[in-house]
Amino acid sequence: MPLHIDVLTLFPRMLDGFLAESILGKGIGRGLLGVNVRDLRDWTADRHHTADDRPFGGGAGMVLKPEPVFAAIEQLQTPGCRRIYLTPDGTPFSEPLARELAGQSHLIFLSGHYEGIDQRIRDRVIDQEISIGDYVLTNGTLAAAVVIDALARFIPGVLGEEKSLTHESFTGKLLDFPHYTRPAEFRGMSVPAVLLSGHHGDIEAWRRAQSEEKTRQVRPDLLK
Ligand code: ADE
């Protein structure tokens, strides 16, 4: 059974282009994973489809109400599924976590918005909280897209070439080396001669040195 993902959001159309395009769209088209985007307002009971309300205790902004989220998750969840809330105060997202999520059978992503969501949602119907970085988005829908994109790369067959996974940043804890393609000479800039040499050992050594230097400059923390 391919991985199935439900995304619960108040802004479902934000994901239309993302899911239709590119390598991810192809993976979905080939049945390697399934993604259903669900509009939280479909689980609201009132005529105005109210999904949020003012916070108890006062303060700015609106809070996502518990009723539609509980109703949606209780309807969609399956035994063993993982229910994930995207939030800037969650566990930092990482490559190992992407790999782990790719190995699950059913994921439910809840996108929060405004000032936050009712704590009782987090206490009762969420298994894991994930942040994609130390900045605040207007809502978690794009964060869900980022997590889905990163985990999809670990689903067998999604990347055409299995090899492309191994060479890249973070898989080997070093940043990527520079890439070049034709033409060998462009506006006076030439491709490093070693890449045209045909000596695979030299090319490997050059790429390794470039990766180490880049990592030293940009992300010395990765070398520790
Ligand atoms: N929602 C808003 N900001 C976020 C972030 N940085 N990560 C995950 N979800 C979010």
pLDDT in tens, 165-209: 655 566 568 999 999 999 999 999 999 999 999 999 999 999 999
Tell me the average pLDDT of the chain.
94
Among candidate residues 66, 158, 67, the one with its CA nearest the CA of residue 118: 66
**pLDDT for res 57:** 96
* Alpha carbon distance 141, 133 (integer Å): 14
**115 has pLDDT over 80:** no
Mean pLDDT of 26-40: 96
The full 3-state SS of 189-221, as one line of letters, equals EECCHHHHCCCHHHHHHHHHHHHHHHHHHHCHH
Which domains, and CATH codes, for the chain? 3-152 (3.40.1280.10), 167-223 (1.10.1270.20)
* Alpha carbon distance 160, 151 (integer Å): 15
**pLDDT for res 177:** 97
* Alpha carbon distance 190, 187 (integer Å): 8
**pLDDT for res 224:** 87
**47 has pLDDT over 90:** yes
Give the lowest-confidence range in 65-69, 83-87, 115-119: 115-119
* Alpha carbon distance 186, 169 (integer Å): 26
Separation of CA 163 and ligand 1 centre (Å): 31
Q: Which residue in this structure is represented by tokens 């009132």?
A: 46
**pLDDT for res 169:** 61
Go through 26-64 and write b for each residue having 16 or more CB atoms within 10 A of its CB, e for each that does not: ebbeeebbebebbbbeebbeeeeeebbeeeeeeeeeebb
How many angstroms from the chain centroid is the CA of residue 69?
21
- Ligand 1: atom nearest CA of 87 is 9
**pLDDT for res 165:** 64
Q: What are phi and psi of 98, to 5 degrees?
A: -60, -45
Separation of CA 65 and ligand 1 centre (Å): 18
**97 has pLDDT over 60:** yes
- How many percent of the chain have pLDDT more than 70? 94
**pLDDT for res 188:** 98
pTM > 0.85: yes
The better pLDDT of the pair 167, 122 is held by 122
**pLDDT for res 151:** 97
Separation of CA 197 and ligand 1 centre (Å): 46
Among candidate residues 117, 109, 99, 2, the one with its CA nearest the CA of residue 55: 117
Q: What are phi and psi of 136, to 5 degrees?
A: -110, 120
**101 has pLDDT over 90:** yes
The one-letter code for the residue type at 88 is P
Other CB atoms within 10 A of residue 25 CB:
14
How many angstroms from the chain centroid is the CA of residue 65?
25
- How many percent of the chain have pLDDT more than 90? 89
Ligand 1 pocket check: which of 109, 131, 135, 148 to mutate, most ligand atoms within 8 Å of Cβ? 131
Indicate which residue's Cα is closest to atom 7 of ligand 1.
Answer: 131
Residue 14, classified by CB atoms within 10 Å of its CB into exposed (0-12), middle (13-18) or buried (19+), is middle
**pLDDT for res 113:** 78
Separation of CA 118 and ligand 1 centre (Å): 16
CB of 12 shorter than 6 A to ligand 1: no
CB of 183 shorter than 6 A to ligand 1: no
CB of 147 shorter than 6 A to ligand 1: no
